[in-house]
Structure 1
Amino acid sequence: MGQRLSGGSQLLITAFVHFQSSFIFIFQDYLEENSTSIYHDTVSIGGGSVFPQIQPQSRPRTESLDLNPESSLIVEISGAVSDKDRVLFTIHTKTTLPEFKHTECTVKRMHEEFIWLHNYLVEHDQYAGYIVPPVPPKPDFDASRAKLQRLGESEGSMPKEDLQKMKAELEAFRSLFLQTPKIWADSSEYLATFKKTVAMHEVFLQRLAAHPALRHDHNFRVFLEYEDELSVRTKTRKEKAADFFKSVSKTADEALRLTNQRDEDQFFREEKCLLTSYHAAVKDATAAADLANLQRKTMAENLLRVNLVLDNLVPKERLCTSEADLVSVLSSFFEGYQKIQVRLASDEDLKFSDTLRYYASDAGAAKDLLYRRSRALADYEAANRALDKARAKMKDIQAAEDAQFAANDRFKTISECARLELEDFKVRRIKYFQKNLVDFAELQVKHAKAHIDLVKSTLDRLRDIQPASSSSVMKEPTDSVGVPATERTVSLDDAFGSAVPFL
């Protein structure tokens, strides 16, 4: 083959040559006999035997699950830029609401400003009866930046296989920041992470824009139309410690004081049991989906290593031999199959795992709403006891009555809003799951078709390879003292038994 190969490489190539004909026969028979076997449990609408050709439809960015395109307030994120340790989101708003100064505006916001808006809405007592959308996850590109830095520092000392693997992984990431102005193209896991981050931030804003009460909030309006930075600071250690003790107090309050609370409203009793079970089930499903997605990514990484090993078997100067052609075809197959698995893993993460993760967070927000209602009920009961004591002592009766009236009014207001919010949560949850699962199924069909096309094209290329002779002459390498080894002829029949004839 133009250069001497090790004994292991010679044995591997010989095994591939021997396996070529069996490989073609097996896959040809499989495709002819099971052309629709991967869809054995799928029937087209109307009961036909032909599988439907589903073409994914691209939807405009303004069309979202929770936002009517004809709404008076439309919010979308038109782009995002990674700037060192922060990500700037470009937010475009169109509105006809009279409280806005402009009908159309564009601003740039950081992730910390999203957190500030979410915390304000959660802590504001005026919105205690509403489900505040979950805060979007923090953009995390430390791993990709670390790989870029490691690639630059270790290019001379890193093993060839690891260097090729890292360059392949970072190819799409470099094109994202150096060439691609938009971030919606389908690419690697890094681009999928970027796309996922933008989508989560956009859903958060669109949920607020579609809400009949939250959309009129003053701070939300400032967030959308104030052109300069909001100068939002992160919480200090003291504030973080206070939040931690507050969460511990809330957990203890739920476990000790509110567990045995008597609620006369059957609707909220059933919703509490349902949300508790649903939240636990969705969290378990999210963990299982993440584990399955991790295994697919691991398989894609192993396929990349196989591809690199096969590439190293082919000499730089391509020789017209059947062994070199066979290794080249197999290398191309594993390369294409690895790319399909990477895209499928990204789609599974975005359309399936993130769907479960998002509604685990949203179910947690609904549970927080029920906690605030239970807390308001406990305050109302405490106000009733205080009023009874004041009347018994004939002291501060008016103040106790005012406190009792305010607690009763707050509890009723929260209950009325919470009932509507929980009913809307059911409808939105089903609609959201349906949309993302349908999109995920379309993407799976797309990747399955790409996989079938890859196998078919590989079979066609294998058929075009001219088979080598039944015996080939292989020279052994010289020994350690430089004495050339004797030449000998090795027959495939002698090495592997009766060979299967080539096509």
Structure 2
Amino acid sequence: MMDGTDESNILNSPSSTNNGATLEIVSPTNPLAGPPVEPATGTATNGSGSATSPDSSSSAPVTPAALGENALHVEISDALSEKEKVKFTVHTRTTLPGFAKKDNNVVRQHEEFVWLHDRIEENEDYAGYIIPPCPPRPDFDASREKLQRLGEGEGNMTKEEFKKMKSELEAEYLATFKKTVAMHEVFLRRLASHPVFRVDQHLKVFLEYDQDLCAKPRKKMAIFGGFVKSLGKTTDEILLSATVRDVNDFFENELQFLTEYHGHLREAALRTEKMTQRHKEVGDSHQKISNALTQLSTTEKGNMETFVAKTAEIFERVKNLETRVASDQDLKLGDTLRYYQRDSDAAKALLIRRLRCLAAYETANRNLEKARSKNKDVHAAETAQAEACEKFESMSACGKEELIGFRNRRVAAIKKSLVELSELEIKHAKTQYEYLRQSLISIKEIA
């Protein structure tokens, strides 16, 4: 079932900025939630390990009256990154009945997003729907470690070098931070735009209750328990696939396709990560050459000094261009592949739940045959068989609609990301070519 959310818009919002202290998030267009929200900008600092995302107050407000009837618009209007946690300000505007306020703000942490996902996943009434994947846990350890090492090594570099490296690390930190905010927001937007999930009571509590939901960070034993549970799900999947024969070709083909497709997505995401990493390494190599030439220019005089200094400047600019290319590749391709890797896993989970329901239906049929042959508890067996049949048919009808919607949404989003990536690659190539052409002319004039 199509949920109306174009998550590619939010997942592919710009992840790099010219100023390391400025963060920009573009809210996605949501047909079921009223008119699109204009991009908001705000200031963020992370020198002490904290950062804030834009404040939605700078954008044109969307009032409940402008949303239309039975609308639910959810966005993360602000976020604060602290040492051990990230606090998200969730802004809700709605005209749905049952909400105490039509315009409300609550502060949530990642664990509360996990709590909401788990409550929806545990609800048997939603077994026939694709549960939007839980957003990944925020991880800023690498960026914070780099910033800490930079602070410790401040005395071993010039003021300009320190300022430049600090600006680059802050930009990297904020890019990671913004992706985290985007992943959490698209999770809420998919729930809010889904015709069934949007009226879930747990979602209502999440959006409305202004106190802590008492969702604590998972401890080591809980994480180990989650691993065992995941292993059990995999075993269950293999067992069901081997023992239960699906009579519906559509679902059987979908399961085979998603199993293979998920593997291809995982492989493509890994290869994309390696590609972007190599691109960053090329940029780092240009930076090392630039640093060496800058040092060399201090020992030269006259035209030679100007020539070497200009060449160092060119290599540094090329480094920035290469880094931007790598950043766009990771944003437009890597993030999209990783997201649909999780989403395809959620779609596959729907098919496994349906197989489990089919197994229960077949068991009910066998129990009914036994009851009739023994002429004992026939009515109870007939009731159980009828309930199992109704549940299976309902799940099949709902699941087919969901899978068709997932296919359409996935194809449109990946196509959009690839087109945008191609356009950016062409733009960067033209920019780099023109810059190198102009640079060659300028150094020839110096020589």
Q: Post-superposition shift, 1:339?
A: 0.8
> 2:50 maps to which residue?
none
> 1:14 maps to which residue?
none
* Structure with the greater alpha carbon radius of gyration: 1
Q: Post-superposition shift, 1:173?
A: 4.2
> 1:309 maps to which residue?
292
Tell me, yes or no, if the aligned pair for 2:90 and 2:105 is still in contact at 8 Å: yes
Q: Which moved more, 1:64-73 or 1:433-442?
A: 64-73
CA distance in 2: counterparts of 1:225 and 1:390, whole angstroms: 50
Match of 1:426 among 389, 399, 407: 407
Tell me, yes or no, if the aligned pair for 1:91 and 1:107 is still in contact at 8 Å: yes
Deviations 1:445-498 (A, max 9, x none): 332233133213312321331x4xxxxxxxxxxxxxxxxxxxxxxxxxxxxxxx
Q: Post-superposition shift, 1:64?
A: 5.0
Matched letter for residue 435 of structure 1? K
Matched letter for residue 250 of structure 2? F
Match of 2:272 among 264, 289, 294: 289
CA distance in 1: counterparts of 2:145 and 2:277, whole angstroms: 20
Is 1:270 aligned with 2:270?
Answer: no
* Alpha-carbon spacing, 1:125–1:424, altered in 2? closer, same or farther (3 Å): same
> 2:426 maps to which residue?
445
Deviations 1:235-268 (A, max 9, x none): 4555545443333232222223432422221211
Identity of aligned residues (%): 43
> 2:310 maps to which residue?
329
Q: Which moved more, 1:420-429 or 1:305-314?
A: 305-314
User: Helix, strand or coil: the match of 1:259?
Assistant: helix
CA distance in 2: counterparts of 1:124 and 1:167, whole angstroms: 52
> 1:399 maps to which residue?
380
Unpaired segments ≥5 residues, structure 2: 1-23, 36-66
Is 1:171 aligned with 2:167?
Answer: yes
Matched letter for residue 436 of structure 1? S
Unpaired segments ≥5 residues, structure 1: 1-57, 175-187, 468-503
Tell me, yes or no, if the aligned pair for 2:146 and 2:169 is still in contact at 8 Å: no
User: Could you tell me the TM-score, scaled by structure 2's length?
Assistant: 0.81
Q: Post-superposition shift, 1:442?
A: 3.1
Is 1:341 aligned with 2:337?
Answer: no
Q: Post-superposition shift, 1:356?
A: 0.8
Is 1:385 aligned with 2:366?
Answer: yes
Tell me, yes or no, if the aligned pair for 1:136 and 1:204 is still in contact at 8 Å: yes
Matched letter for residue 117 of structure 1? L
Matched letter for residue 207 of structure 1? R
CA distance in 2: counterparts of 1:267 and 1:443, whole angstroms: 38
Matched letter for residue 365 of structure 2? N
CA distance in 1: counterparts of 2:430 and 2:31, whole angstroms: 28
Match runs of 1:68-107 below 5 Å: 69=35, 72-107=71-106
Match runs of 1:19-418 below 5 Å: 61-63=27-29, 69=35, 72-156=71-155, 160=157, 168-174=164-170, 188-235=171-218, 239-315=222-298, 321-418=302-399
Q: Post-superposition shift, 1:164?
A: 8.0
Tell me, yes or no, if the aligned pair for 2:150 and 2:166 is still in contact at 8 Å: no
**Structure having the larger proportion of residues in helix:** 2
Q: C-alpha root-mean-square deviation of aligned residues, in Å? A: 2.5
CA distance in 2: counterparts of 1:324 and 1:240, whole angstroms: 59
CA distance in 1: counterparts of 2:359 and 2:161, whole angstroms: 60
CA distance in 2: counterparts of 1:391 and 1:278, whole angstroms: 44
User: Helix, strand or coil: the match of 2:138?
Assistant: coil
User: Helix, strand or coil: the match of 2:101?
Assistant: coil
Q: Report the count of equivalent residues.
A: 391
User: Could you tell me the TM-score, scaled by structure 1's length?
Assistant: 0.72
* Alpha-carbon spacing, 1:66–1:131, altered in 2? closer, same or farther (3 Å): farther
